[in-house]
Structure 1
Amino acid sequence: MTRNVTFAPGEFYHLYNRGTEKRKIFLNRQDYERFLSLLYLANGMARVDIKRQGSTLSELLTQDRDEKLVDICAYCLMPNHFHLIVRETKDYGISKFMQKLITGYTMYFNKAHERNGALLQGKFKSEHANSDRYLNYLIAYLHLNPIKLFDPTWKEHGIKDQERAEKFLDDYVYSSFLDYSGYDRLEKSILSLDALPAYTSIPKDFRSSITEWFDGQGSTLSMQQS
């Protein structure tokens, strides 16, 4: 995986990081929802201001914000790590967004769980989606990641129960899988799906492309950070 990527406006990137010492970074629903709210609120030039600790996700995702720093095209939150696919829209947009996101979430997490120190394994990791084929691969990889929560070896040995896997993905609310599948939900405000290339047909071809992975191609997934 490439760590020192130069971000260029108009290009797509896979960003990810995991908890220090592989610790869990999401311990409950409130943690997941705070990260989701920060994906939305940190994606702007203004300082993030969550006035009330008890603010609901729906309240936070409907707050006004100014010009976006990046286009968030996909995301997946796992218990001890996260994945994002973003497009740089302006110089230093990704760097500014990730600094706000990670700082904001670490401050929240440490206060909520009475701890100190770093939460993540250093600087976030990144790789350039330098071809249409690779971008499609990353979108599939990211959205299939939650399957490992109930079938840890599916990437090496294939999916044993396709029906269960599809249901699990439909029930997993902490990724953009449902938005790609055509569901209308508030979390869609996090995303800029119109920033994706024209060949990416959502949701028309998304479920069929996922089924192709179910039918055997998934065994080729071998990302280090999974």
Structure 2
Amino acid sequence: MNRKISFAEGEYYHVYSRGVEKRKIFLDGKDRERFQALLFLCNGSKPVVYRLIQGSTLYQTDVGEKIVAVGAYAFMPNHIHILVKEISENGITEFMRKVNTAYSMYFNKKYERVGPLFQGTFAAEHVTRDEHLKYLFAYIHLNIVKLIEPKWKEEGIKDLKKARGYLEAYPFSSYSSYTGKVRKEDTILSKNEFPKYFSHQHDFKDFVDEWLTFGPQNFDP
């Protein structure tokens, strides 16, 4: 991935942000919850003060006009993946700046540390082909399978049933928002800004399942 690319309105990008020196950026569930909330709260034209809106109504906050469209995301211990569409000028750059800055301030205060948390700003890949864009809905979500089977991409999946269950239950990705589960975090996504590849939740599950059994290393975007 390359950070030195120009973002254009109406185009799709795979955004990736890693902890400095590959360090963990999430140390507990509260950290993940905070970052996930920031994906919603930082995606708007209005300034938002997190401490004033904590609680069950957080994802109903008026953040103003969205500056990017988020199609998918997944959190790993030391990095995150986000599939986004640029819908306003400089939207992706501003969105990632707001998210990373807000989270870094929270993390450094909580863990009494100083200095950058993330490796540079962020990396991004321009997605120009339809088959690549569709593939990313599987690739991004399947990253988390490495948390239970670290070598599944190289050696194949050993426990398919367990992996499917883990994908469905993992709360810090957008996977279950595509499988029919109603979540407060659904407001993070702007599904209507992406091609309608999956007319039914079973289509999405089947598509991801194909890559789970086939192996993402076999795809060349």
Report the TM range for the smaller structure's normalisation. Answer: over 0.9
Q: CA–CA distance in 2 between the matches of 1:22 and 1:87?
A: 26
- 1:158 partner amino acid: G
C-alpha displacement of 1:200: 4.1
Secondary structure of the 1:123 match is: coil
Q: CA–CA distance in 1 between the matches of 2:175 and 2:17?
A: 19
Q: How does 1:15-34 map to 2 (within 5 A)?
A: 15-34=15-34
Gaps of 5+ in 1: none
- 2:47 partner amino acid: R
Other-structure match for 2:169: 171
1:124 and 2:118 correspond: no
C-alpha displacement of 1:2: 2.5
Q: What percentage of aligned pairs have identical amino acids?
A: 46
Contact 2:48 2:63 in 1 (8 A): no
C-alpha displacement of 1:222: 8.3
Other-structure match for 1:113: 111
C-alpha displacement of 1:156: 1.0
Other-structure match for 2:180: 182
Counterparts in 2 of 1:202 and 1:41: CA distance versus 1, 3 Å? farther
Other-structure match for 2:195: 197
C-alpha displacement of 1:143: 0.4
Contact 1:181 1:206 in 2 (8 A): yes
Counterparts in 2 of 1:218 and 1:158: CA distance versus 1, 3 Å? farther
Deviates more, 1:193-202 or 1:151-160: 193-202
Other-structure match for 2:2: 2
Contact 1:15 1:83 in 2 (8 A): yes
1:44 and 2:44 correspond: yes
Cα deviations by residue, 1:32-64 (Å, 9 ceiling, x for unpaired): 1111111001001122311349x23x3321212
Q: CA–CA distance in 2 between the matches of 1:142 and 1:152?
A: 15
Number of aligned pairs?
221
Q: How does 1:137-152 map to 2 (within 5 A)?
A: 137-152=135-150
Contact 2:154 2:217 in 1 (8 A): yes
| Large movers: runs of 4+ above 4 Å | none
Contact 1:75 1:82 in 2 (8 A): yes
Q: CA–CA distance in 1 between the matches of 2:153 and 2:219?
A: 6
- 1:13 partner amino acid: Y
Q: CA–CA distance in 1 between the matches of 2:165 and 2:198?
A: 23
Contact 2:2 2:123 in 1 (8 A): yes
- 1:103 partner amino acid: T
Secondary structure of the 1:44 match is: coil
The TM-score normalised by the length of structure 2 is 0.94
Q: CA–CA distance in 2 between the matches of 1:112 and 1:52?
A: 18
C-alpha displacement of 1:8: 0.7
The TM-score normalised by the length of structure 1 is 0.92
Q: CA–CA distance in 2 between the matches of 1:161 and 1:151?
A: 9
- 2:188 partner amino acid: I
C-alpha displacement of 1:202: 4.9
C-alpha displacement of 1:30: 1.0
C-alpha displacement of 1:191: 0.5
Q: CA–CA distance in 1 between the matches of 2:105 and 2:219?
A: 33
Q: CA–CA distance in 1 between the matches of 2:57 and 2:105?
A: 20
